[in-house]
Amino acid sequence: MIMVTRISGLSSGFDTEGTVAKLMQAQRVPYDKLSQKKQTVEWQRDAYRDINLKMTEFRNTKLFNFKLESTFNAKTVNITGNTDAVTAKGTASATNTNLQIKVDGLAVAASKFSESEIATKDFDPSQTLASQSANMTNAPVTGNYKFKINGTEIQVDSTKESLNDVISKINKNTNVTAFYDASLKQISFMANNTGETNGADGKGSVITFEDTSGNMLNKVFQVNTNSTTNRVAGANADVTINGLKTSRTSNTFTVNGIEVTLKKSGGVASTISTKSDTDKIVESIKGFVNDYNDILKTLNDKRTETKNRDYQPLTKEQKEALSEKQIESWEAKAKAGVLRNDPILDSMTRTLRTDITAVVDSGSSKYNSLASIGIDTGQYYENGKLYINEEKLRAAIEANPDAVKAIFTGDATDDNPSLAGVGERLYTHLNDGLTSLTKKAGLGNISYDDSLLSKQISDIDVEMNVKLKRLSTIEDSYYKQFSAMESALNKLNSQGSQLLSQLGSK
């Protein structure tokens, strides 16, 4: 680019720069309008992205978790009769039920421990077995060993591994926990599971030990594999459930979705009764309604927000004349209404309100919609805000918890789309709305993407660059004209000075 020499009234005293600046103000109007248009589109894009982010968080966390059946399967459990014999809690699959349980015998874990001391007081379990051979009851301890516990083989290199290392291997690789008591100088072995769960086949009552190479178990660890000394056999729990005598390998088991833990044998039977945890379900529904109302308010506020037509985006020159606080205040007013009457938001709002008032095939003619269980919209001017009649909601949960659950969590089939619960409908249609928002404005903080608004901003940038070059050309032209005027005045002044000098010499 050819640089233009800008002479600022040296001969004429004329305010060239001030005059050019005023002339350029009129020329900059189209460029400033494009800049303001770009700013408005950027505000629209940011507003869309904020809504997209909030809607995504609502769908992926709050709505997703709420529409799970477990939300509505909360149960309260009550125990009468022998309250010391058992404890119980409801699981996600629990049904409203009554169980009578009599504990005839608790499950016991099998165990075994050394029949005598395996080492002296100087023995160090953290050092290799070979290095501690002299401090062990049955020396020497050298070379490699192999043995099996409940059918799982353990290999030991006594020159490299300590007693602590061997115990760690047993605990990691078998279904038995080993423990060395330094004060007693003995090793104990206990099955990880109660009941008849031992041996290679997992059905035996005792832990099986077998030396396959060397005599580490029998000789070093003093565990006589064939002896009943220092041995406790595992036993299944004997229990009578609703009159049926049966057994369980564990003291904790599940019946009809109720997790039962046996605590004490003998005595009279315990009666376990369950029913829906109305308080917990109501609180979950309240949370959903609050989240839904918040999302609906966000959409309604944006699509009905009044546009302040007296507040347009500030130009660069206008910002330079204002403080940061004044700019912030102005732009807050200028941003208002950028999504007023937006078709995407209008469509999403209508869809949400339709989904929330839909009739669901819940298997109940009485409870088949939110309105039927006490959840309904307020006045027309509240634009679909939901309110809860808690008394009516509680009555519905107590009367037919499965129907209430189906209203929220039901899944549609190809043959019967009306089976879809409110949660599933909202989740699906929110996904459609989020897709539209993403196509319109993109995601996150990415400045440019393939969205419609980002492409529009890019097009405006191209047009602004063209106009900026033209403004530079016009400004240079003005300075050229004033430079020519200054040069002419300089020449005229020079000629005038010469004439005066000649006249003065005569």
Asked if residues 156 and 213 have their Cβ atoms less than 8 Å apart, the reply is: no
The residue type of 207 is I
Q: Where are the domains of the chain?
A: 38-70+280-453, 75-107+236-276, 109-232
Q: Which of 4-8, 149-153, 385-389 has the lowest mean pLDDT?
A: 4-8
Rounded CA gap, 467 and 462, in Å?
9
Asked if residues 352 and 295 have their Cβ atoms less than 8 Å apart, the reply is: yes
The residue type of 194 is T
Please report, to the nearest 10 degrees, the dihedral formed by the alpha carbons of residues 68, 71, 72, 76 taken in order: 150
Q: Which of 189-193, 349-353, 461-465 has the lowest mean pLDDT?
A: 461-465
- Return the pLDDT at 505: 56
Asked if residues 170 and 198 have their Cβ atoms less than 8 Å apart, the reply is: no
Confidence of residue 70 (pLDDT cuts 50, 70, 90): confident
The widest CA-to-CA distance across the chain, in whole angstroms, is 148
Task: Report whether pLDDT(502) > 50.
Answer: yes
Rounded CA gap, 468 and 455, in Å?
20
How buried is 22 (Cβ within 10 angstroms: 0-12 exposed, 13-18 middle, 19+ buried)?
exposed
- Return the pLDDT at 259: 93
> Minimal CA–CA distance to 404: which of 371, 379, 381?
371
Contacts of 325 (CB under 8 A, 6+ apart): none
Confidence of residue 477 (pLDDT cuts 50, 70, 90): confident
What is the value of pTM for the model shown?
0.68
| Each residue's pLDDT tens digit, 113-126 | 999 999 999 999 99
Asked if residues 370 and 376 have their Cβ atoms less than 8 Å apart, the reply is: yes
- Return the pLDDT at 443: 84
Q: Which residues of 213-251 are buried (b: 16+ CB within 10 A; e: fewer)?
A: ebebbbbbbbbbeeeeebbbbbbbbbbebeeeeeebbeb
- Return the pLDDT at 341: 94
